[in-house]
Chains A and B, each alone.
Chain A
Amino acid sequence: MKKNVNISVEYLTRVEGHGNIVINVKEGKLDTCRLDIVEAPRFFEGMLRGRSIFEAQHITSRICGICACGHTLASIQAAEDALGITPTEQTIKLRKLLLHYEMLDSHILHIYLLVAPDLLGVKSFVPLIGSHNEVVRRALRMKKTFNDLCDILVGRHVHPISATVGGFTKLPNPKDLDAMLDMLKGMRPDMDATVELVTSLKFPEFERDTEYVALVSDSSEYPFLMGAIGSTDGVRMDKRDYKKITNEFVVPHSSAKHAKLCRESYAVGALARFNLNSEKLHPKAKEVVTALGLKPKCINPYLNTVAQLVECVHCLEDAISILEDLKGNLNYNEEIVVGLNEHGRIPVRAGNGVGAVEVPRGILFHNYEIDEKGIIRDANCIIPTSQNTGNIEYDMMKLVPEILDRTGEEITLAIEMLVRSYDPCISCSTHFLDIKFINA
């Protein structure tokens, strides 16, 4: 008998923001397959118009509490590009360090609290408090440590305070640097245990070939903060051409726009970065890659979580290297007071700037157009999750027919896990606009 399946998941849980899944199979044939984004639109780009470029980072950080540091860094990069500011070497190092903290914090949250419950057969981390108490304690301990590291570096993780256009309003003192180093080195046993845990988990087997997009560069560094835009289909473009990459279009069921490049959709995130830059990972992260048998180009979307683990190991080790390099060498004269630049210490000009930064869920673009007084005239933010949404739907379309012999409940779980593996940040992804730049 041909099967009918009707799945409607309202308010998908253990993701950031509000999304619904709708699947309809009629007589064994897939009729509907959608990821609806139903987050209430918040109109950030619209609200930015008329505000000072020196407020952009503070406001856009509020797009997302999970990747607040990533939005901050993309926003600052776009603002400095528009203003014509080149950050100092020291500022760049500190920003890379901040991005590592964000990557670690977000990936650990995703691996332990959002994904692990599925693979251990429970509905959330709460039942794990009884059954896997050590695992939950480790997760919360690691989460707290990354949070504390951000507290030291930028005041706090959710909406960082001291990272601004021009540099940092407060620099970590020598004791802070030592404390951060101790905390990171002390994290190594917990990271080893995390690798062990993920190695023991069984991820679903599913493959679909797609295009992966991430920052690429000619340097030997695994690029997070700076680079050009690259794809596994061989595209390479300057960040200023980001709109030729994203080619956004509106679909009625989603307050997040969709994106496509060489194919009908593309994917961003840890797996995309791994697929494009795996040879640049830290040697310790490469050991994990070998142990897990992960090879580029990996086309199982469920393994995005494994790629996140690999990045955790990389970021932990690279953060230690950055701190060892900064220790004893920080120039405190670089500490700045910015506010709204009331006294014009930072020269202001009209301009158009782009920020392209790898944040936990993939490449993030901010773009501002400012007038000669530094007032924002146009703004655009393109969020990783919106770039992934189309790709998730194509994954679902291939997956559902392959698992039709399962029960409705099992199909629902498989689809929920697929969507969760992308670590979607839906609260982020609903802020888009059709922009027409005056002097683009």
Chain B
Amino acid sequence: MEKPKVAFFDFACCEGCQLQVANIGEGLLDVLGSIDVVEFREVMSEKWDKELDVAIIEGSITNPHAVERIKQIRERAKVLIAYGSCATIGGVNGMKNNFSFDDIRKYVYGDSYQFFPTEITKAVHQAVKVDYFVNGCPIYIPEFITVLKAVLQGIPYDVPDYPVCVECKLNENVCMYDREVTCLGTVTKAGCNSWCINNGNICYGCRGMVSNPNEKGAQDVLTKYKIPMDLVLNKMNMYNKCREIF
């Protein structure tokens, strides 16, 4: 059987999720044994402009050129994976949507701002149909391997739709609220094995919100610890600003 043709494409992002592929180590050679990577600009000079079995998309859609490019990729890809927070939920690029675009362009580029067009930051599924989502900033390698296996077998992958708290409890972390800081694990999709809290930091919500957050429970927590709502909403906007686009 011919190996499926896979390509990586990057849009507005830090390319850290692509780098996570290199971080798989020698195990990468096993992955490469079952797929045929035909384009991956960050590490390969080879290019491919024909049909693709799998397109892996990193980054957000932030300008008219990107909209056209993602549409063309979608047309020639049988399966399209949104890969990393910038692609799945807009990620940190979404913070730009808090500002007037002329204002933010002038702030960064001064009088030359007209050279640098931008438009509202979108997640990939807000521009084209997405078949699989690999969340996270950066992506969590074990989850990516699981998704890749599902893609190759042609079966669906369901992102966990329960909060990070579930995994965090199993990891026996002391709750960040009990350590007197505000954490977004209560409303954020699990699947990262509570990566940040395991390392003493808080959850920033990089995997996106669960579809049915326990709002009442979350509000009780905020009341109990005397945390103002706008602080939480502001934190939410670091990664999840693009959820407002529909």
Residues in A whose Cβ lies below 8 Å from that of B96: 42-43, 46-47
Q: Which residue from A49, A65, A154, A432 sits with its C-beta under 8 Å from B109?
A: A432
Chain B residues with CB below 8 A from A147, complex form: 23, 25
Say whether A141 contacts B25, CB under 8 Å. Answer: yes
Do A137 and B29 touch (CB < 8 A)? yes
Q: Is A95 engaged at the interface, CB distance under 8 Å to the other chain?
A: no
Q: Say whether A125 faces chain B, with CB atoms less than 8 Å apart.
A: yes
If A159-B138, A170-B200 touch, whether A14 touches B109 (CB-CB below 8 Å) is: no
Interface string of A54-82 (1 = CB under 8 A from B): 01001100111110100000000000000
B10-48 vs A, Cβ < 8 Å mask (1 yes, 0 no): 111111111110111110110010000100111111110
Closest CB of chain B to A186's CB: distance in Å?
14
Considering only residues 34-76 of chain B, those with a C-beta below 8 Å from chain A are: 37, 40-47, 62-63, 65-66
What 1/0 mask marks residues of chain A from 155 to 167 whose CB sits below 8 Å from any chain B CB? Answer: 1111101101000
CB of A40 within 8 Å of the partner chain: yes
A139 to chain B, nearest CB (A): 9
Q: Among B110-118, B143-151, B157-165, which stretch is in contact with chain A?
A: B110-118
A409 within 8 Å of B by Cβ?
A: no
B15 neighbours in A (Cβ, 8 Å) = 16-17, 64-66, 427
Question: Is the Cβ of A40 less than 8 Å from the Cβ of B44?
Answer: no
Does B244 make an interface contact (CB < 8 A)? Answer: no
CA distance A141 to B29 in the complex (A): 11
Query: Please, what's the 1-or-0 string for A339-352, where 1 marks a CB less than 8 Å from any CB in chain B?
Result: 11011000000000
Task: Contact check, B14 vs A143: say whether CB atoms are below 8 A apart.
Answer: no
Measured between C-beta atoms, what is the minimum distance from B123 to chain A in Å? 15
B37, B42, B91 interface centre (most CB from chain A within 10 Å): B42
Residues of A within 8 A of B112 (CB): 250, 252
Interface assignment of A45: CB less than 8 Å from any CB of chain B = yes
Bound-state Cα–Cα, A214 to B104, Å: 31
Q: In this assembly, does A255 line the interface, its C-beta being within 8 Å of a C-beta of chain B?
A: yes
CB-nearest residue of chain A to B17: A65
Q: Across the interface, do A113 and B22 meet the contact criterion of CB distance under 8 Å?
A: yes
B238 interface residue (CB < 8 Å to A): yes
A25-55 at interface with B (beta carbon < 8 Å): 39-43, 45-47, 49-51, 55
Asked if A337 meets B200 with Cβ closer than 8 Å, knowing A16-B15, A59-B92, A66-B19, the reply is: yes
Q: Does B99 reach chain A (CB closer than 8 Å)?
A: yes
Partner among A16, A63, A157, A340 whose Cβ is within 8 Å of the Cβ of B42: A16
A137 to B30, CA, bound (A): 12
From B14, B183, B199, B227, name the one whose CB has the most chain A CB atoms within 10 angstroms.
Answer: B14
Q: Please, how many residues of chain A have a CB less than 8 angstroms from a CB on the other chain?
A: 70
Task: For residue B161, give the distance in angstroms from its CB to the closest CB of chain A.
Answer: 24
Let me know if A45 and B176 touch, CB within 8 A: no
Q: Which of A41, A64, A168 contacts B108 (CB 8 A)?
A: A41
- Count B interface residues, CB 8 Å: 72
Cβ of A305 to closest chain B Cβ, rounded Å: 16
Are B41's CB and A11's CB within 8 A? yes
Q: Tell me the smallest distance from the CB of B96 to a CB of chain A, in Å.
A: 5
Give the complex CA separation of A14 and B8 in angstroms: 13
Interface string of B75-117 (1 = CB under 8 A from A): 0000000000000000111011011000111011111100110
A339–B18 CA distance with the chains assembled, in angstroms: 28
Q: Which residue of A lies closest to B11 (CB)?
A: A40
A45 is contacted by which of B42, B66, B107 (Cβ under 8 Å)? B107
> In whole angstroms, what is the CA distance A47 to B212 when docked?
29
B223 contacts partner chain A, Cβ-Cβ < 8 Å: no
Q: Across the interface, name the chain A residue whose C-beta is closest to B46.
A: A123
Per the 8 Å Cβ criterion, residues 146-197 of B in contact with A are 176, 179-183, 195-196
A124 close to chain B: CB less than 8 A? yes
Q: Judge whether B41 and A433 touch: CB under 8 Å.
A: no
B109 touches A40 (CB 8 A): no
Q: Is A169 an interface residue (CB 8 A)?
A: yes
Residue A109 interfacial (CB < 8 Å): yes
Task: Contact check, A340 vs B14: say whether CB atoms are below 8 A apart.
Answer: no
Contact A40 B199 (CB under 8 A): no
| A335–B179 alpha-carbon span in the complex (Å) | 13
Partner pick for A126 among B11, B46, B66, CB 8 A cutoff: B46
B231 in contact (CB, < 8 A): yes
Q: Least Cβ distance of A160 to chain B in Å?
A: 9
State which of B10, B22, B118 has its C-beta within 8 Å of the C-beta of A43: B118
Whole-angstrom distance between the Cβ of B107 and the nearest chain A Cβ: 5
Do A42 and B62 touch (CB < 8 A)? yes
Q: Is B201 an interface residue (CB 8 A)?
A: yes
Chain B residues positioned under 8 Å from A51 (CB to CB): 95, 234, 238
- A434 CB-CB contact with B under 8 Å: yes
Does any Cβ of A come within 8 Å of B134's Cβ? no
| In the complex with contacts A161-B195, A340-B231, A342-B182, A14-B43 CB distance below 8 A | yes
Least CB distance from A180 to B in Å reads 15
- A434 / chain B contacts, CB cutoff of 8 Å: 108-111
Q: How far is the CB of A257 from chain B (nearest CB, A)?
A: 8
Find residues 60-115 in chain A having any chain B CB closer than 8 Å to their own CB: 62-66, 68, 109, 113-114
Whether the Cβ atoms of B176 and A339 lie closer than 8 Å is: yes
| Interface: A13 (CB within 8 A) | yes
What CA separation (Å) do A116 and B20 show in the bound complex?
A: 20
**Do B118 and A13 touch across chains, with their CB atoms under 8 A apart?**
no
A residues at B contact (CB < 8 Å)? 11, 13-18, 39-43, 45-47, 49-51, 55, 58-59, 62-66, 68, 109, 113-114, 117, 123-126, 129, 136-137, 140-141, 143-144, 147, 154-159, 161-162, 164, 168-170, 250, 252, 255, 335, 337-340, 342-343, 427, 431-434
Q: List 18 A-B contacts (CB under 8 A).
A: A45-B107, A51-B95, A65-B20, A66-B15, A68-B14, A136-B29, A137-B29, A143-B22, A144-B23, A159-B138, A161-B199, A162-B200, A250-B109, A250-B115, A252-B112, A337-B179, A339-B181, A433-B110
